[in-house]
Structure 1
Amino acid sequence: MTRQPVFDANAAAGGKDLGDLPAWDLSDLYAAPDAPEVERDLGWLETEGAAFAAEYEGKLADLSAAEMLACLHRYEKIDMVGGRIMSYAGLRYYQQTTDSERAAFLSDCQDRLTTYTAPLVFFGLEVNRIDEPHLQGLFDANADLARYRPIFDRLRKMRPYQLSDELEKFLHDQSVVGATAWNKLFDETISGLEFEVNGEVQGIEATLNQLTDQNRDTREAAARELGRVFSANVKTFARVHNTLAKEKEVEDRWRKMPTPQTGRHLSNDVEPEVVEALRNAVVEAYPRLSHRYYELKRKWLGLDRMQVWDRNAPLPMETERRVAWPEARGMVMDAYADFSPQLADLAEPFFDKGWIDAAVTPGKAPGAFAHPTVTDAHPYIMLNYLGKPRDVMTLAHELGHGVHQRLAADQGELLANTPLTLAETASVFGEMLTFRKLLANAKDKAERKVLLAGKVEDMINTVVRQIAFYDFECKLHAARSEGELTPDEISALWMSIQAESLGDAFDFMDDYQVFWAYIPHFVHSPFYVYAYAFGDGLVNALYAAYEEGAPDFQEKYFDMLRAGGSKHHSELLKPFGLDASDPAFWHKGLSMIEGMIDELEAMED
């Protein structure tokens, strides 16, 4: 029901003395967990869920067009009220996941929402039993109802995989002690881990950040400590992955889904062959992208062999610069304004109205995200900002999500949510705008080289690494369908994709085989990761069209973001003359990365 945040696992963090970092003001949702409005809304949900079912269950096929529209509006209101409650509970929890009161409040809200919305399960099941000619007749009779056609289309894609009403209701009720509970166990375990590096005890964010430290000994110490702690907890992480993968396999089997990936493709509203074309194009390009770049980086670092703690090392000519928060804000806002003053206007309230939580604090969830909350409120952005130049790119990325979510909100609660394949469009485009602005202002060749190398690394992390993650998940779920996996067996699957994706420049330390353990996407959103590569390739193609002076580009771009989830990716890309089903589309996006590596190689001459 609730639109969940999806964590950006590559978000970095690093430094101090960064200025006044903003914190969330959640009062736009609720004043406090014990505010009377929380109980009021929960009570309304209980009553309205039962009333909705009493009025409509067993009767959807007999509704007139006007009656179906009224039914949808009531359903949408229930979705919005429930979304507001869960957004508030979830955001408070992510601020401090080790706080037992916040965890209990989130769990209680989830339990009550699951109970109160159980009567609504019939809705999707009955929609899928309506004859197509009758449904089309309703759309033909009422233009306002026809606007919701994409909702019906997406629901009806599940028709071949729908279970009995009784089983669907059971799965709904059981979810709070299934995947939701295992997700929480993972979050609480990760947030509670402690790592000691150079005599200092710290959390996972600060430790992961040290993998980008200038000092190689510090990077090695952080990598080995991460490996040690992950290995010490690997049985818990293996249990989480085994259970979630098995639960998914059982449900997929009952639904007769052909592959473990099918559910993700359906929710993304993307065809399997499009994802396969993307995956194949990226894997085929590994030697031209990551292998070639990391060989360059090995030479820059003066190493005979790269170790895993060198993958995201700063370049030797890179300064240990920390970007204070006001400067970061200025960089991103200037880049947004250069593209369109409207884009900057949409981004401005995030900084001034308590819509960003930026500081690293004890127990705070790692990574970064933009949560859309509900369409009658506004998005919230979470960062772990510690001042590295890449943190500026993370800010640009999440701000792009936030702007996209604001624009799409006009579609209403049911149509605003963008499929994951397109959800990364504005975020990656915002990064690209910021990068191009910084590149244009580079003072000399050395600064340009650092910027180019940083962007290539980010794109490799977004494209190559995420497709490698996707391949790991495919292998993991396939292997789990054959039986329980030991931690060593999961680690072997992880290592089987590492050398292939990273290339011959690397050696792998002991304990690197357990680094699968901390990736939140594998737990929260199985097979989500290809959306990053999809978004990067799409934006590269879009940006090329922008640079080539495509007519009315800004207007078309905003129209695409405003569409939210109301149109298929093929419709949204058509005004730009782009087609994601064409393999050449993906090769064009990858060629932009190759071009940057070409320029870096030319700088060696």
Structure 2
Amino acid sequence: MIRNTCKPLFDANASAGGRDLGKLPEWDLTDLYPSQDSKELADDMAWLEQACANFAADYEGKLTDLDATGWLNAVERHEKIEAIAGRIMSFAGLRYYQLTTDSDRTKFMSDCQEKVTVYTTPLVFFTLELNRLDDTVLDDHFAANDALARYKPAFDRIRAMKPYQLSDEMEKFLHDLGVVGDAWERLFDETIAGLEFEVNGEPLNIEGTLNLLTEQDRPTRQAATEELARVFADNIRTFARVHNTQAKEKEIMDRWRGMPTPQTGRHLSNDVEPEVVEALRNAVVAAYPRLSHRYYALKAKWLGLETMQVWDRNAPLPMETTRTVNWDEARDTVMSAYAGFDPRMAEIAEPFFSKGWIDAAVKPGKAPGAFAHPTVTDVHPYIMLNYLGKPRDVMTLAHELGHGVHQVLAAGQGEMLASTPLTLAETASVFGEMLTFQKMLDGAKDQAERKVMLAGKVEDMINTVVRQIAFYDFECKLHEARRGGELTPDDINALWMSVQAESLGPVFEFMPGYETFWAYIPHFVHSPFYVYAYAFGDGLVNALYAAYQEQPEGFQDKYFDMLKAGGSKHHKALLAPFGLDASDPKFWDKGLSMIEGFIDELEAMEG
């Protein structure tokens, strides 16, 4: 039950890249601890060691003897342990992600992780003994104590793992062994952060190079894509080793636990039924011709191309003006959109900008991508960006700030119930993007600007829905193939290419070297099968936003209640007040029809 809060999931001082972006904010981590050698941190580490030992001494082998009040005391003590362990690992992890190439930060995080793992190993008994109790025993305790009954959703999620639980000794062994798997993730992170590229004579890290794929100049996009392919190829054996090892470790775990598929564990942690995910996946794949194939054919026409290359996929439109959005403008745009929906949303978002809760600049050694890390419920979230002043970076800010608002609102649920399943974790982030997009669209000064904005939104949605489901299919194939033996880099390359043409459509050609582009996607390593949560979140938000447009009266209060619920309710219960049901196969068609409608409008503009 101890969450490993040093590993935020990536969503993918000086001004960056020579651009004048204004003063970019940096993290102030002192709300967690004053420094890595502070007395406060040392005291918490000592407290954690003793608290875990005391907890095990008081409760191991005795859970069956507890009454409802005793159970409530145990849960509250466990939550306090989670909070302290999470605070320590959040501090160590965030410092590390600021500068992954710094050996002192790497050592500090690794040392913290090892100590926390050792200290919390005695707690493994708690979930094991809990899962040996009869349902009737727990139900009686819940009926006897309302304060304890509040935790029932967390207990239900733990007990969903009951059929896959191993012996106490094995579970403790696996808990201890977790730091070894983490080492492979760190190898991936440090390899990615340390990659060096050169485009048009300019040395760049991976974030700066990927950024060039959205440049107006086509030769620059081509040069950046070819340079990415060259560097990935030079490092492909390392990436293949990481993926082989991680996939094999997962296969061993799944086999020992008796999980029927590689995806089962993710579905359980997401509190979502496999058939719901399958319905989502099938709906998106069936819509490829209506969405990505149709849009990219339209884009090829705008670009004056008969065939698109991979470096054209995220190209700006010819009629799009190349401009840099400075930080103040990005902040004002997003905050205005949030306030326009509900002033409470902007009030929650404001401290992120004023109190050092955002780290925005691109810096050497900083982890690529973006994330919002909730830390622990008695502190606050932190947002990491790699802000380069692109219009899409504004949408990334809107996205991560949505996560942050969600995490602030859910914190009232406490450590056991605040975290939402990944499928629901994307709700507020994608909704924040939609609010920002609609605000910008309403302000379009003419049809040409509206066209550019609509096209940009369609591309973002295709990247969120189509691309992520293609990623999910790739992962399914990868893990299935790994069960048959070691995969060579060429094997993995072939699996990657098998999903690309299907998802992107016949207008694309794929240059030699593109087959290695699976190598830099962090989700495949950090959190297998995470990616379908993006498509789930986008479809859910499209349906939510349609409900908002149809019936705005009272929507805000229902929306805030949904975010405040955190992980305390199943997706059916959360969506019921809006008249929505994700288990209905037609639900996904509603979300996809919004994307289709935007493409319809773009096609009509051609007429």
> In structure 1, which of residues 70, 73, 76 is the aligned counterpart of residue 73 of structure 2?
70
Name the SS for the 1:181 alignment partner.
helix
On the 8 A contact 1:269/1:568 being kept in 2, the answer is yes
Q: Does 1:282 align with 2:289?
A: no
Q: Which amino acid aligns with 1:229?
A: V
* Residue 14 (structure 1) shift: 7.1
CA–CA distance in 2 between the matches of 1:240 and 1:358? 29
Q: Which amino acid aligns with 2:105?
A: R
CA–CA distance in 2 between the matches of 1:329 and 1:265? 35
> In structure 1, which of residues 94, 99, 102 is the aligned counterpart of residue 102 of structure 2?
99
Equivalent pairs counted in the alignment come to 601
Q: Determine what percentage of the aligned residue pairs are the same residue.
A: 75
> In structure 2, which of residues 52, 56, 67 is the aligned counterpart of residue 53 of structure 1?
56
Deviation string 1:374-410 (CA, Å, 9 cap, x unpaired) is 0000000000001010000000000000000000000
1:209-220 equivalences under 5 Å are 209-220=211-222
- For 1:164, the equivalent position in structure 2 comes to 167
CA–CA distance in 2 between the matches of 1:549 and 1:80? 39
CA–CA distance in 2 between the matches of 1:235 and 1:15? 34
Q: Does 1:340 align with 2:342?
A: yes
Name the SS for the 1:306 alignment partner.
coil
- For 1:495, the equivalent position in structure 2 comes to 497
* Residue 201 (structure 1) shift: 1.1
> In structure 1, which of residues 357, 364, 367 is the aligned counterpart of residue 366 of structure 2?
364
Q: Which amino acid aligns with 1:33?
A: Q
Q: Does 1:123 align with 2:133?
A: no
- For 1:582, the equivalent position in structure 2 comes to 584
Change (3 A) 1:15 1:6: farther
On the 8 A contact 1:322/1:388 being kept in 2, the answer is yes
- For 1:567, the equivalent position in structure 2 comes to 569
**Structure 2 runs not aligned, ≥5 long:** none
* Residue 5 (structure 1) shift: 1.5
* Residue 38 (structure 1) shift: 1.1
> In structure 2, which of residues 7, 23, 26 is the aligned counterpart of residue 23 of structure 1?
26
- For 2:479, the equivalent position in structure 1 comes to 477
* Residue 39 (structure 1) shift: 1.1
- For 1:8, the equivalent position in structure 2 comes to 11
CA–CA distance in 2 between the matches of 1:576 and 1:337? 22
Name the SS for the 1:201 alignment partner.
strand
CA–CA distance in 2 between the matches of 1:509 and 1:101? 40
> In structure 1, which of residues 12, 34, 37 is the aligned counterpart of residue 37 of structure 2?
34
CA–CA distance in 2 between the matches of 1:15 and 1:467? 36
On the 8 A contact 1:573/1:579 being kept in 2, the answer is yes
Name the SS for the 1:317 alignment partner.
coil
* Residue 206 (structure 1) shift: 0.1
CA–CA distance in 2 between the matches of 1:325 and 1:54? 53
* Residue 15 (structure 1) shift: 6.5
Q: Does 1:133 align with 2:136?
A: yes
**Structure 1 runs not aligned, ≥5 long:** none
Deviation string 1:553-597 (CA, Å, 9 cap, x unpaired) is 000000000000000000000000000011111000000000000
Displaced runs of 4 or more, over 4 A: none
- For 1:515, the equivalent position in structure 2 comes to 517
On the 8 A contact 1:400/1:430 being kept in 2, the answer is yes
Q: Does 1:413 align with 2:415?
A: yes
1:92-491 equivalences under 5 Å are 92-177=95-180, 179-491=181-493
On the 8 A contact 1:15/1:387 being kept in 2, the answer is no
Name the SS for the 2:288 alignment partner.
helix
Q: Which amino acid aligns with 2:94?
A: L
Q: Which amino acid aligns with 1:246?
A: K
- For 1:558, the equivalent position in structure 2 comes to 560
CA–CA distance in 1 between the matches of 2:4 and 2:158? 16
On the 8 A contact 1:268/1:420 being kept in 2, the answer is yes
CA–CA distance in 2 between the matches of 1:488 and 1:193? 21
* Residue 2 (structure 1) shift: 2.8
On the 8 A contact 1:2/1:79 being kept in 2, the answer is no
* Residue 36 (structure 1) shift: 1.0
* Residue 550 (structure 1) shift: 4.5
- For 2:533, the equivalent position in structure 1 comes to 531
- For 1:505, the equivalent position in structure 2 comes to 507
Deviation string 1:247-271 (CA, Å, 9 cap, x unpaired) is 0000000000000000000000000
CA–CA distance in 2 between the matches of 1:499 and 1:398? 30
* Residue 354 (structure 1) shift: 0.2
CA–CA distance in 1 between the matches of 2:194 and 2:4? 26
Q: Which amino acid aligns with 2:92?
A: A
Q: Which amino acid aligns with 1:277?
A: A
* Residue 552 (structure 1) shift: 1.1
TM-score by length of structure 2 reads 0.98
- For 1:79, the equivalent position in structure 2 comes to 82
Name the SS for the 1:564 alignment partner.
coil
Name the SS for the 2:389 alignment partner.
coil
